[in-house]
Structure 1
Amino acid sequence: MNDGIALDSGDWLDANRANWDERVPVHVASEFYDQSGLRAGRGALYPIEEAELPVVFPEGVGGLRILHLQCHFGADSLVLAQRGATVVGIDFSRPAVRRARELAAEVGLSGRSRFIEANLYDARHALPEPESFDAVYTTWGTIGWLPDVAEWARIVAWFLKPGGRLYFADGHPTAFVFSDRTDSTVLPSFTYPYSTDGVADVVDENYDYADRDALFENTVTYEWQHPLSETVTALLDAGLRLDFFHEHYELPWRMFEALEPTGTGLWRWPEKKWLPLGMSIAATRL
């Protein structure tokens, strides 16, 4: 549900793009997006993906043609390319796509990767290749920036070959109803509704998960709360078969101050598993 919002233009798209354009140089320079392993020829994904991708792709990703939606500056795209996949990354940020191409050249993977600047909802026009990919990959901080999950799922299905597979991981929608920005000494408190029926939360906040000291000029963003049932139903309606749905009590960024580092690049609750922080889905195009 998107409450009639235009998907190809509008204040939501302009504001979110401007915010992410500013984030690119901050993220490229941050320890959060450490690229040393990639440059050394041994790039790695987060432990959640590393554990699950062999289940989704038991034969490995070598030789697969993979579409990476909302790829940011391409670091994860290039990890997959480094393992033998041919990867096309799409992102709406021009600085992100420019940096992805530069990084691909730096690590010698330009021949296995291509990066396209496009709003996700324009992906069919930017890359008119239906049923041409063995896999679609999209992880961490993606659909919350999108007003229409049903159209996202249809785009995923449109690009996948019959039998092609989706791997998707993101923050858990139950965790996104909480916030602790006003008091870091207690557990997060209920702040946002679980569903806003397609209406955006318009947030004006000078905050970045990768560098908390970073300051931006474009601080307004439009974000959407997508209930779990909305996402799963969208994938089923688009013609995908659900292969697994996993909940995780760890995730790759410090969503709440109460979380503690695991030492593996993830963050978790300090004691009890209060509620799931992340989720992942594998699905197959029928």
Structure 2
Amino acid sequence: MTGSVDLRGGDWLDDNRANWDERVPIHVASDFYDQGPLRVGGSVLDPISRAGVGRLFPDGLASARVLHLQCHFGSDTLSLANLGATVVGLDFSRPAVEEARRMAAELDVDGRARFVEANLYDARHVLPEPESFDLVFTTWGTIGWLPDVAEWARIIAWFLKPGGRLFFADGHPAAYVFDGADGPGGMPTFQYPYAKAGPDVLDDDSDYADADASLVNARTWEWMHPLDEVFGSLRAAGLTIDDFTEHYEVPWQIFPATVPKGDGMFGWPAERWLPLSYELVASAPAS
């Protein structure tokens, strides 16, 4: 729910953008965002996204046009380009977009990979290309920064071709009610309600990609979006939910208690206590 939040600007947008602007050089320098596979023509897509896109395009992405929303500095966008797609990445951080463009030129895919700087809610104004994408792709740490997923869903529907599809993966809201831990490696504890109308305004100077980083722009505004809100918003925008899967792994150490599971994924050490992430596929009407 948006409450009185102005989707086009305000403290929420300014604070979040400053936070992500500051993260860009930290992330570019980190081992977490290893660009090595991109430089040899490969992909850095996580296993969930890689498998999901593979199911949607079993014959490959060579003829696909993809819009990547909230693309950060474009690692996944460029992975899709390396897989053959023509891609447009959109992000609100100028340093992120500048790094994405630089990397696209380094990889010599800038003819097929375009990056646009904009607030997501301005997407239809800066990309006036309705019904032009085979796939809208958005994954990992996206809608939690957005006050209004109903408008997010309408934007996705506006860009999809008839029969085009959304691939979405993110942390599970059931996991996001927890935070912290009872000692090193301990289980997280209840911290946040599952359903809350307004944002959590947090001051946290840490960064998930570099344990030694200390952010100056530490204030962020984050929203909880329960599953029924996400599903309902997509359906209200005219999309059909084609697939939904819960996962017990995520591509970062979401809690101290989670342990490496291989291929950059983290999960519970033994019992599958609760889902940590989910993916869904939605499609636009064929005509």
The TM-score with structure 1 as length reference comes to: 0.98
CA contact (8 A) 2:182 2:188 kept: no
Show the 5 A alignment for 1:1-286.
1-180=1-180, 183-197=183-197, 199-286=198-285
Size of the aligned set, in residue pairs, is 285
Runs of at least 4 residues of structure 1 off by over 4 A?
none
Q: Quote the Cα distance in structure 1 between the aligned partners of 2:270 and 2:117.
A: 42
Task: Give 1:34 deviation, angstroms.
Answer: 0.4
Q: Quote the Cα distance in structure 2 between the aligned partners of 1:97 and 1:271.
A: 40
Mean alpha-carbon deviation: is it higher for 220-229 or for 184-193? 184-193
Q: Quote the Cα distance in structure 2 between the aligned partners of 1:110 and 1:181.
A: 44
Task: Give 1:92 deviation, angstroms.
Answer: 0.1
Task: Give 1:185 deviation, angstroms.
Answer: 4.2
**Letter in structure 2 aligned against 1:242:** I
Cα shift readout 1:177-226 (whole Å, capped 9, x = no counterpart): 000157334210000010112x0100001111111111111000000000
The TM-score with structure 2 as length reference comes to: 0.97
Secondary structure of the structure 1 residue equivalent to 2:18? helix
Task: Give 1:170 deviation, angstroms.
Answer: 0.2
CA RMSD of aligned residues (A): 1.0
Secondary structure of the structure 2 residue equivalent to 1:25? helix
Secondary structure of the structure 1 residue equivalent to 2:2? coil
Q: Unaligned regions of 5+ residues in structure 1, if any?
A: none
Secondary structure of the structure 2 residue equivalent to 1:175? coil
Q: Unaligned regions of 5+ residues in structure 2, if any?
A: none
**Letter in structure 2 aligned against 1:124:** R
Q: Quote the Cα distance in structure 2 between the aligned partners of 1:54 and 1:227.
A: 27
Q: Quote the Cα distance in structure 2 between the aligned partners of 1:254 and 1:92.
A: 25
CA contact (8 A) 2:30 2:209 kept: yes
Q: Quote the Cα distance in structure 2 between the aligned partners of 1:213 and 1:52.
A: 33
Task: Give 1:52 deviation, angstroms.
Answer: 1.8
**Letter in structure 2 aligned against 1:194:** Y
Q: Quote the Cα distance in structure 2 between the aligned partners of 1:44 and 1:22.
A: 22
